[in-house]
Structure 1
Amino acid sequence: MNHKGRFLTGIIIGLLMSSSGYGQSTAGAIFLLISPGARAGGMGEAQIAVANDATASYWNPAGLAFLSGNELSGMHVKWLPGLADDMTYDFLAYNQSLNDFGSIGGHIIYLDAGKQTRTDSEGNIEGTFSTYFTSAALSYSALLTRTSSIGLNAKILYQHLADRATGTEQGNPWSTDFGFDFGYLKRDAFNGLLDFATVLINVGPKISFIDENQADPMPTTLKFGFNLHAVQQQHNKLNIVYDVSKLVVASYAAMDWDGDGWVGGYDENGRGGFVNGVPTETKGYEYNQDGQIETTHSDPIYLAIFTSWVDDWLLGGDRDI
């Protein structure tokens, strides 16, 4: 790989580790949001109300309850051909009907980010290392009624950035975490005219690598979708499918909430104080020249479902001290 390719790959890996939007939402393990399936790609990734094959394990596990028999689905692609040729994405999904006992299934994701060059603090090349991201999910789905179902995924994920830390960093540049997906699907509403669904995916604890104080929340996402059977004739069919997706992560820099001139236990001159009666230095906070700590606050999922929709200044914070 040439220098340009290495530079672009480094940027891509950084985005996979953590993504941000509008300054207040950040999340880790973004590779979980890379969508599998050629059909899904051709439909703009609007799938949660369709979910009628083995890939339902990824899109909406509730869809597995309506499947009969068993099915295996897989794909292997160069993820960014021409840009990072050694990056590949693999996906494998399976479902098995248990008849009156529902359906089980699962899927595996493997994203290989290729070989990276290791250098020392002076830029001397020391060798190469591999970066990859993987997850495995186990699915279960059952009918609530003849036309409605629920589904659950339990997943484990592993992110391997390098085989050892660099420089003076302490800890490991890899992480093992877990999460859950929840789905609901309603078929044939309004006399068979409409299917609709909702899912909440990637619910789990925060993700960290070297520094637990800089942990990022899981990419918890809330989706709503419908599948309108506009034309259903013997030789002609037309479906209108639409999904709405929202990353329900609320994260923002530490702010002067009460207007007392202190942010994260420090004043604008960098003098430490107390946080909940404990000296700032013992809490592990770090101060930067702007008078704000560099770590961010993240709302728990039961709050982020609501606070992720608004800017942080609407919540009463003020970064300026």
Structure 2
Amino acid sequence: MINRIFFIIRHFLFHVVFSFFITFKCLAQSSDPERAYKVALPFLLITPDARSAGMGETGVSTSSDVYSIYWNAAKYAFSEQSSGVGISITPWKRQLAEDMNVFYLSGFHRLNELQTIATSIKYFTLGRSIFIDNEGNNTNSYKPSDLSIDFAYIRKLSEVFSLSTTVKYVRSDITALDFVQGQGITGQAFGADIGLFYYKPISAGHQDGTLAIGANISNLGTNIKYGSVNLAMPTLVKLGGSYIGTHDGSLKYAFSVELNKLLVKNVSNMPNVSTGLEVILADKLALRTGYYNTKTILEEGKYFTTGIGLNYLNFSINFSYLFPTQSLNASANTIRYSLGYTINKRNNPIN
């Protein structure tokens, strides 16, 4: 028992020290005293997958799926599958431009019962920009884009607790205003995420269920520099809880409540609230809905969401739809599509 406690403490401290070493190393590279007031890379805050989007943009405490590295990589420690890969496509704010899209590819692999690795690539394209001269003639074109590549290591510390560390590389080519001689100014940055996850079976009356609590701090890292301008990454803190239950063996349901807040002084001090509900019938059909309000550098508003998912063999297809409570909103009618594939080889699934 004592050896087990020391084992948990040792690996917990390893993750924490490693993550904060990355964070402080990154921050030490910036000498901008107004770092907290200047923020870039809002694409890092765009929800990439249809499942979480359909549940009111909840994800830090929901059950694990192939896209967990974005929300809270520590969830992979309790995955029922040994590995998986997923791809998502989000046509983004088509009321502003017809060719803005978010592409997301992610995957994970369980090395053993205690260790898991994961990776993801997020690519955001803002469409093609056309440059014209004073006479209205086309002189050049440019396609702004953002890219993020993430790698995560996840450790299961006990039967109910896990911890994750994610490192990321970000490249931004969106500075069309600085376009000179056919080349835009490219910004680069490095960052880290830290995730915690608690996942414990409980009994509620005559029903057995699972309580899940998740916490994550993401986008800790260096400033990104566009020419002579230094801008900070959008550091985000997420905290949430979920209850996952079953009824008659053929129906599963989950209810989630989550809070998130940007650690940026020029953004509202009030946390954003998200709620989501998921109902799964016979492990084949998933119905989802949710509600969230947000005020960030990315958008501001109150939204209802809905979604549907289909599971067949090892494949899953998910779809989500977002509609705001107010008119004239560029995020109205946002649709997300996700396709996932998992391999079931675990001998002792958690749930």
Bin of the TM-score, shorter chain as denominator length: 0.5 to 0.7
Within the candidate set 39, 47, 51, 2:59 is matched to 47
Does residue 178 of structure 2 align to residue 178 of structure 1? no
CA distance in 2, matches of 1:156, 1:122: 41
Counterpart in the other structure of 1:194: 211
SS in 1 for 2:76: helix
Does residue 50 of structure 2 align to residue 33 of structure 1? no
- Structure 1: stretches of 5+ with no match in the other structure: 1-23, 253-321
Equivalent pairs: percent with the same residue?
Answer: 25
Aligned length: 225
Q: Counterpart of 1:50 in structure 2: which amino acid?
A: T
Counterpart in the other structure of 2:287: none
Counterpart in the other structure of 2:224: 207
1:251-275, Cα deviation, whole Å (9 max, x unpaired): 59xxxxxxxxxxxxxxxxxxxxxxx
Q: Counterpart of 2:158 in structure 1: which amino acid?
A: T
Counterpart in the other structure of 1:248: 263
Distance 1:226 1:101, change over 3 A: closer
Q: Counterpart of 1:146 in structure 2: which amino acid?
A: E
Does residue 232 of structure 2 align to residue 217 of structure 1? yes
Question: Cα offset for 1:161?
Answer: 2.0
CA distance in 2, matches of 1:135, 1:80: 20
CA distance in 2, matches of 1:162, 1:230: 48
Question: Cα offset for 1:228?
Answer: 1.8
TM-score, structure 2 as length reference: 0.59
Within the candidate set 132, 141, 144, 1:131 is matched to 144
CA distance in 2, matches of 1:158, 1:126: 26
1:163-207, Cα deviation, whole Å (9 max, x unpaired): 793479xx9621011110100000016555421010000000112
CA distance in 1, matches of 2:138, 2:252: 59
CA distance in 2, matches of 1:123, 1:129: 17
Give the 5 Å matches for 1:75-154.
75-120=88-133, 125-154=138-167
Normalized per residue, the structure richer in helix is 1
CA distance in 1, matches of 2:219, 2:45: 9
Distance 1:69 1:229, change over 3 A: closer
CA distance in 2, matches of 1:179, 1:205: 6
1:73-111, Cα deviation, whole Å (9 max, x unpaired): 111232233541111211000000001450001110011
CA distance in 2, matches of 1:61, 1:121: 51
Counterpart in the other structure of 2:170: 157
1:250-304, Cα deviation, whole Å (9 max, x unpaired): 359xxxxxxxxxxxxxxxxxxxxxxxxxxxxxxxxxxxxxxxxxxxxxxxxxxxx
Distance 1:241 1:207, change over 3 A: same
Does residue 250 of structure 2 align to residue 235 of structure 1? yes
Q: Is the 8 A contact 1:62 1:185 kept in 2?
A: yes
Distance 1:232 1:147, change over 3 A: farther
SS in 1 for 2:144: strand
CA distance in 2, matches of 1:138, 1:167: 34
Q: Is the 8 A contact 1:93 1:105 kept in 2?
A: yes
SS in 2 for 1:28: coil
Distance 1:105 1:166, change over 3 A: closer
Normalized per residue, the structure richer in strand is 2
Q: Counterpart of 1:181 in structure 2: which amino acid?
A: D
TM-score, structure 1 as length reference: 0.64
- Structure 2: stretches of 5+ with no match in the other structure: 1-35, 204-208, 268-351
Does residue 95 of structure 2 align to residue 74 of structure 1? no
Question: Cα offset for 1:120?
Answer: 5.0
Q: Counterpart of 1:94 in structure 2: which amino acid?
A: G
Q: Is the 8 A contact 2:174 2:184 kept in 1?
A: no
Question: Cα offset for 1:159?
Answer: 0.6
Q: Is the 8 A contact 1:220 1:248 kept in 2?
A: yes
Q: Counterpart of 1:195 in structure 2: which amino acid?
A: A
CA distance in 1, matches of 2:227, 2:137: 23
Find the structure with the greater CA-based Rg: 1
SS in 2 for 1:99: coil
CA distance in 1, matches of 2:201, 2:105: 31
Q: Is the 8 A contact 2:48 2:90 kept in 1?
A: no
Question: Cα offset for 1:211?
Answer: 1.6
* Higher relative contact order (CA closer than 8 Å, sequence separation 6+): 2
Runs of 4+ in structure 1 displaced over 6 angstroms?
none
SS in 2 for 1:31: helix
CA distance in 2, matches of 1:239, 1:51: 9
Q: Counterpart of 1:154 in structure 2: which amino acid?
A: V
Question: Cα offset for 1:121?
Answer: 7.2
Q: Counterpart of 1:194 in structure 2: which amino acid?
A: L
Q: Is the 8 A contact 2:114 2:157 kept in 1?
A: no
